[in-house]
Amino acid sequence: MMIKIEREENSPAKGLQQFFKQLLEMKEIDALFLPVRLKESSSIMPSLVTDPAQIEDAVPLSPAFPINSARMVSRLSYKKSGRKTAVVLRSCEMRAFIELVKLKQGSRQDLILIGMDCPKAFTSTDFTAYMKNEPLDDDAYIEAAFSKKSETINGFPFSSACNTCENPFPLNADISILLHGVDLSDGMIAESCSDTGSQILETLGMPETAMPEKRDEVLIQIKEAHLKSNEAMIEDIGARTDSIAKLNVFFDRCINCYNCRNMCPVCYCKECVFNTDVFYHQPVQYHQWAEKKGLIKMPTDTIFYHLTRMAHMSHACVGCGQCSNACPSDINVFEIFKSVAQSTQAAFEYLPGRDENEPPPLSVFYEKEFENIVGISRE
């Protein structure tokens, strides 16, 4: 089922706000989780809304992406709350949450998942500068983000994670908000993707519509453009990190703050080995290393930390780019992590968040896999 989301006061942003307000006013929905512009602030943060009047500050198609909200949705759903919550997520957030569901860190039971065609986003640094530099209003941003005429808005580029995302469209949603290939001057489209989604859209009683004829063509064009950008990024990062010496240079500004780990939506361990005494070496050990080499960079173990994270998480990386977004030393961790993740996921023929019932690769064993590496057993 597909319904049209009409523009409100000739505004697509207000049309979306009205749509979400109607959802929140339904007796079946107790709360709505989506990005909101905070009062007396330019910050846009994921928020849990229970008052329909607060929806006027919602910015579902936001240029800000300060956090992958999958982790917040995990907090809302890992235990029963008795509340039905509709959550609005970007495609990478949706895929990350599905991975967390597989890992028993969240549940869909009390949730209605609303996905949307992603409008891309700025890095947090660029968003801050953008807001100081006479930013476009919400409608102008939506029009610019979906026009595909430029890779920058007001001179600010979209993040490399957004430009190389191969799946910027909703997966596993109950309701999908469609904008690519849609004539936004005529409104937007909400598509039901589950029985729950169909029931909700039927209850709203909005006019039904059909899939835009150009949507498939537009989606192919977007995927091809992103694939081209992704290939160029992988080739570039590969040339810059294809030896231990080059890796050391790439991570030479790393201060072991672990922000990249903390912001990763699918890195969920309650205790990390890097927060234990294992890497609190004895003072004499540091001196022995320095005496052997003449000099050692402090803090130590930075390369080992990143390699360990890649080994643990590359199969589950959804390419959201929050690892780079959180780095105080401005290291583009995302680029190297995605290049490794892409190889890992291709080897397992696995796409994180593709299918809720598809087990994570490291949780299952197949007798005949990777025979070219481990050899063939002899009976």
Instruction: Kindly list the domain boundaries of the chain, sorted by start residue.
Output: 2-223, 242-374
CB 163 within 8 A of CB 150: no
Question: Pick the residue with more confidence: 340 or 377?
Answer: 340
- Enter the tokens of residue 44: 């846009």
How many contiguous H segments (helices) and E segments (strands) does the chain have? Answer: 15, 9
Can you name the residues that pair with 116 across neighbouring β-strands?
177
Query: In this predicted model, what pLDDT tens digit does every residue of 330-353 receive, in sequence order?
Result: 999 999 999 999 999 999 999 999
Query: In this predicted model, what pLDDT tens digit does every residue of 249-261 receive, in sequence order?
Result: 999 999 999 999 9
Question: In this predicted structure, what is the pLDDT of residue 270?
Answer: 80
Question: In this predicted structure, what is the pLDDT of residue 366?
Answer: 82
String of DSSP letters for 117-139: -------HHHHHHHHHS-PPPHH
Question: In this predicted structure, what is the pLDDT of residue 32?
Answer: 97
Question: In this predicted structure, what is the pLDDT of residue 66?
Answer: 95
